[in-house]
């Protein structure tokens, strides 16, 4: 009736006794052969009850697997909303400000600053390009250390303590650090002489970027300049006998590159500041601007914006300005105050 090679009939014939003849069994269920074989090894008596029990076990396992992910995912989601604030503990030694520490730990802090990008691009240039950068008054940009990551909570703590009105930074123990052009030149190596950098006009002119793209010798028709375009221009360098137009290309690229990645970032990504874009339309005048004062103005504006966001209890804040300057000037002041030679 049924082929003898069927696993179910072979197993039932080996267990049957002479008192009761072997009953014909229905063929195994092809839809779920694995569960049927596993149940048959533990229970030698085949029948519909064994088949029903196998499906019950499968239902229980599937329902348990549906419940498991909710238990596993609950903890990481909760812990992700509560970042650790251990990095702030080293800063708050003399005058611990617990409110600032708790505020930083409960916020989502966004910022962009890449000293590593500046170091990797400007640390190994040809002598001709180096001379152009020195003429711009940004010689210190070629000596920026290769810092891989900026501490966001420390940067938040510093920028939140900047007094925009008096341009000073108030530390936890009451010490006040002056934010001035002289300290910017000392820390960053950016000259502090020249005219004031004109700020972005309220109405943005669409012809600015195409004009700067022409100075940078980007492909014809370029209407939007990216940070990658600036890196390509600098790495391209100067020809053997450069003309003034060749030097203009490097002048504009270096100033825009440094402002984007380190000196004046104001977005959460590498976005070229429009203030610098307007100046780059006339690259030969870039050396006549006071970039140190421009850096301070950006820090002041970003500190005012941060104070407004904290006062309005925003859950996400954006840090802007030269955060490296704030960190280095703070440690420099602390070092000078502890030095026996300090006046």
Classify residue 324 by burial, with Cβ atoms within 10 Å: 0-12, 13-18, 19+.
buried
**CA 210 – CA 339 distance, rounded (Å):** 52
Structural domain count of the chain: 1
Residues 6 or more apart whose Cβ sits within 8 Å of residue 11: 40, 44, 46
Is the distance from CB of 244 to CB of 284 less than 8 angstroms?
Answer: yes
- Confidence (pLDDT) at 70: 35
- Confidence (pLDDT) at 278: 95
> What is the SS3 assignment for 14?
helix
- Confidence (pLDDT) at 106: 82
- Does some domain include residue 255? yes
The per-residue pLDDT for range 20-38, each reduced to its tens digit, is: 444 445 444 444 444 444 4
The per-residue pLDDT for range 231-270, each reduced to its tens digit, is: 999 999 999 999 999 999 999 999 999 999 999 999 999 9
- Does some domain include residue 120? yes
- Confidence (pLDDT) at 100: 54
- Does some domain include residue 155? yes
Eight-class DSSP state of 178: E
> What is the SS3 assignment for 138?
coil
- Does some domain include residue 52? no
Eight-class DSSP state of 337: H
- Confidence (pLDDT) at 203: 82
Asked if the model's pLDDT at residue 173 lies above 70, the reply is yes
Is the distance from CB of 306 to CB of 317 less than 8 angstroms?
Answer: yes
Residue 244: name the closest of 300, 270, 275, 282 by CA: 282
> What average pLDDT does this structure show over 273-288?
96
pLDDT more than 70, % of the chain = 67
Which pLDDT band, with edges at 50, 70 and 90, does 332 fall under? Answer: confident
Which pLDDT band, with edges at 50, 70 and 90, does 333 fall under? Answer: confident
Give the containing element (helix H, strand E) for 30.
none
- Does some domain include residue 90? no
- Does some domain include residue 260? yes
Tokens representing 20? 């009761």
- Does some domain include residue 105? no
> What average pLDDT does this structure show over 153-163?
95
Residues 6 or more apart whose Cβ sits within 8 Å of residue 49: none
> What is the SS3 assignment for 108?
strand
Asked if the model's pLDDT at residue 39 lies above 50, the reply is no
**CA 343 – CA 325 distance, rounded (Å):** 23
Higher-pLDDT residue of 10 and 135 is 135
Tell me which residue range forms the domain holding 244: 114-338
**CA 41 – CA 39 distance, rounded (Å):** 6
Eight-class DSSP state of 140: G
**CA 288 – CA 7 distance, rounded (Å):** 93
In the sheet that holds 162-163, the strands lie side by side as 162-163, 168-170, 176-178
Write out the E strands in the chain: 108-111, 162-163, 168-170, 176-178, 316-319
Overall pTM > 0.85: no
Which pLDDT band, with edges at 50, 70 and 90, does 99 fall under? Answer: low
- Does some domain include residue 154? yes
Rounded to the nearest angstrom, the gap between the alpha carbon of residue 209 and the centroid of all alpha carbons in its chain is 26
The per-residue pLDDT for range 109-146, each reduced to its tens digit, is: 999 999 999 999 998 899 999 999 999 999 999 999 99
């Amino acid at each position: 009736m049924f082929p003898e090679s069927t696993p179910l009939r072979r197993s039932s014939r080996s267990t049957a006794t002479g008192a009761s003849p072997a009953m014909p069994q229905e063929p195994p269920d092809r839809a779920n052969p694995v569960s049927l074989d596993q149940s048959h090894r533990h229970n030698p008596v085949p029948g519909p009850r064994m088949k029903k029990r196998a499906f019950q076990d499968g239902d229980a396992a599937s329902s348990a697997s549906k419940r498991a992910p909710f238990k596993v995912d609950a903890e990481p989601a909760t812990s992700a909303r509560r970042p650790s604030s251990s990095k702030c503990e080293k800063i708050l030694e003399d005058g611990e400000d617990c409110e600032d520490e708790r505020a930083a730990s409960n916020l989502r802090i966004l910022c962009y600053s890449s000293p590593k990008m500046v170091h990797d691009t400007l640390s190994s240039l040809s002598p001709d390009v180096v001379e152009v950068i020195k003429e711009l008054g940004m010689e210190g940009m070629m000596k920026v250390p290769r810092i891989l990551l900026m501490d966001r909570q420390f940067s938040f703590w510093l920028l939140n303590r900047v007094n925009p009105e008096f341009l000073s930074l108030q530390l936890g123990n009451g010490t006040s650090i002056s934010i001035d052009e002289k300290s910017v030149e000392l820390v960053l190596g950016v000259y502090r002489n020249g005219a004031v950098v004109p700020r972005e006009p309220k109405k943005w002119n669409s012809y600015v970027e195409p004009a700067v793209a022409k100075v940078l010798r980007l492909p014809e028709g370029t209407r939007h300049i990216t940070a990658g375009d600036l890196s390509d221009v600098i790495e391209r360098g100067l020809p053997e006998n450069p003309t003034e137009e060749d030097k203009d290309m490097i002048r504009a690229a270096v100033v825009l590159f440094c402002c984007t990645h380190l000196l004046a970032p104001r977005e959460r990504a590498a976005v070229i500041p429009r203030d610098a874009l307007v100046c780059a339309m006339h690259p030969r005048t870039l050396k006549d601007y006071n970039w140190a004062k421009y850096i301070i103005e950006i820090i002041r504006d970003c500190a005012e914006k941060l104070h407004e966001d904290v006062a309005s209890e925003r859950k996400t804040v954006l840090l802007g300005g030269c955060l490296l300057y704030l960190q280095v000037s703070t440690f420099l002041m602390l070092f000078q105050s502890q030095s026996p030679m300090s006046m």
